[in-house]
Structure 1
Amino acid sequence: MKLQSLVLAAATALTVTTAFAVPAGTWSVAAGAHYVDPKSDNGTLANGALAVDVDGDVRPTISGEYFIANNVGIELLAAIPFHHDITLTDADGVSTDAKTQHLPPTLSVQYHFDGYNMPMNVKPFVGVGVNYTTFFKERIYSDVFEKLELDDSFGVAGHIGVDIPFNATESFRIDARYMDIKTDAKVDGNDVGEVDISPWVYGVAFVKRF
């Protein structure tokens, strides 16, 4: 009976360890790079007179995650400013160039899956949260207009990815995020419409747990 109890206790402990690979109270830091890939149709301005195209950019990123429960973490993503070239094209095909920088800090609640015996011991995760994007250093290159302004944006954000462990505390991460980023634009102080960036953000990172 004692042997059976010990075996049962050991099996239970192993099951719990497998099921909860990241215990509550754990911290992790991920350092890497992400590419912001705006949606292909970024809207129109000036009552449809100008089509908007926003290009992509890649920058270093860092995130920190604190596990409030087993396998459940709260993550904050930060980055150095992303730079985007903007092209405004009228009905005659004449284009005007502009540019902006932005910071998109994103706060997410995430669940890390474990115990599924996946190849290479891969650990998938999913998350959902809120993105705040602030724009600055906007410029428009025009002989007619002088100033471009883009309002800050709040929106939902989704996150999926996998961690490929090197060892118990270090892993390589591949992830993708969707961010709902829409900003109201002003030219020379006049409202001209909404720019819909709403990008997918693709990244890789080195993850360290503490």
Structure 2
Amino acid sequence: MKLQSLVLAAATALTMTTAFAVPAGTWTVAAGAHYVDPKSDNGTLANSDLDLVANVDVDGDVRPTISGEYFIANNVGVELLAAIPFHHDFTLNDANGAEIFTGKTQHLPPTLSLQYHFDGYNMPMNVKPFVGVGVNYTTFFKEKLNNNLGLELKLKDSVGVAGHIGLDIPFAATESLRIDARYMDIKTDATVNGAGVNYELGEIDISPWVYGVAFVKQF
């Protein structure tokens, strides 16, 4: 009888988990805002022709975002994150912290992730954690270097890994509030053009944590 009871309990638990799992074929759309928080040490740029050795400091920015996710299996989804362009001001400082140049750039960081949602696990308040891993492609544009030397800055596009963790807090059958964080490996090579000459300055390591909140709708 005890064995039968255990088998029955296990079967019931499995049935409940399957019943409440996000089924394959489900779509979700999340609309919200994210803050891009670059790492504190963004690298050092150097070029002997320009007599330049500078530490880079990149500031953060917040922008609206939207993502769509399609579940290819129960609780397993493929998500694409998109946003309007993020704006970043940056400063090049010398070894003593004195400002050399300032500048700005914009970037778009579309990110594709494979994610697992812990749905159907009887979490407190029916919250639904998830984890994901994927690839980030970041394209930079409208770069500007504030200087009186006629120098123009160019940042190369970046491809890197991305990690994703989050929590969906449901408040209706198909609606929830999402709180999430991502790590994006974003590194870009900086080039300065001036007087017909290209100067390779080195690599800027942005690699931010990206924090956000969003409203999620399931279809």
Task: Using structure 1 for the length normalisation, give the TM-score.
Answer: 0.91
2:207 is the counterpart of 1:203: no
Q: Deviations over 1:166-192 (max 9, x none)?
A: 122100000000000000000113111
Give the equivalent residue in structure 1 for 2:152: 147
Give the equivalent residue in structure 1 for 2:184: 179
Maintained 8 Å contact 1:145/1:187: no
2:125 is the counterpart of 1:120: yes
Larger mean CA deviation between 72-81 and 182-191 belongs to: 182-191
Larger mean CA deviation between 114-123 and 184-193 belongs to: 114-123
Q: How far is 1:116 from its partner?
A: 2.9
Structure 1 unaligned spans of 5+: 1-7
SS of residue matched to 1:41: coil
Q: How far is 1:95 from its partner?
A: 2.8
Distance 1:145 1:29 in 2: 45
Q: How far is 1:13 from its partner?
A: 4.0
Give the equivalent residue in structure 1 for 2:18: 16
Q: Deviations over 1:115-136 (max 9, x none)?
A: 3322221100000000000000
2:64 is the counterpart of 1:60: yes
Maintained 8 Å contact 1:176/1:201: yes
Give the equivalent residue in structure 2 for 1:4: none
Larger mean CA deviation between 64-73 and 83-92 belongs to: 83-92
SS of residue matched to 1:46: strand
Q: How far is 1:114 from its partner?
A: 2.2
Q: How far is 1:70 from its partner?
A: 0.2
SS of residue matched to 1:14: helix
Q: Which amino acid aligns with 1:17?
A: A
Distance 2:123 2:33 in 1: 26
Q: Which amino acid aligns with 1:29?
A: V
Q: Deviations over 1:17-59 (max 9, x none)?
A: 13x2x10000000000000000000000015810000000000
Q: Which amino acid aligns with 2:202?
A: G
Larger mean CA deviation between 175-184 and 185-194 belongs to: 185-194
Maintained 8 Å contact 2:18/2:120: no
- Alpha carbon RMSD of aligned pairs, Å? 1.7
SS of residue matched to 2:172: coil
Q: Deviations over 1:53-77 (max 9, x none)?
A: 0000000000000000000000000
Give the equivalent residue in structure 1 for 2:84: 80
What is the count of residue pairs matched by the alignment? 201
- State how 1:88-127 maps to structure 2 within 5 Å: 88-92=92-96, 93-127=98-132
SS of residue matched to 1:40: coil
Distance 2:167 2:217 in 1: 14
Task: Using structure 2 for the length normalisation, give the TM-score.
Answer: 0.87
Q: How far is 1:145 from its partner?
A: 4.4
Larger mean CA deviation between 157-166 and 41-50 belongs to: 41-50
Q: Which of 162, 170, 194 does residue 165 from structure 1 map onto?
A: 170
SS of residue matched to 1:23: coil
Q: Which amino acid aligns with 1:84?
A: H
Maintained 8 Å contact 2:91/2:99: no
Distance 1:204 1:123 in 2: 15
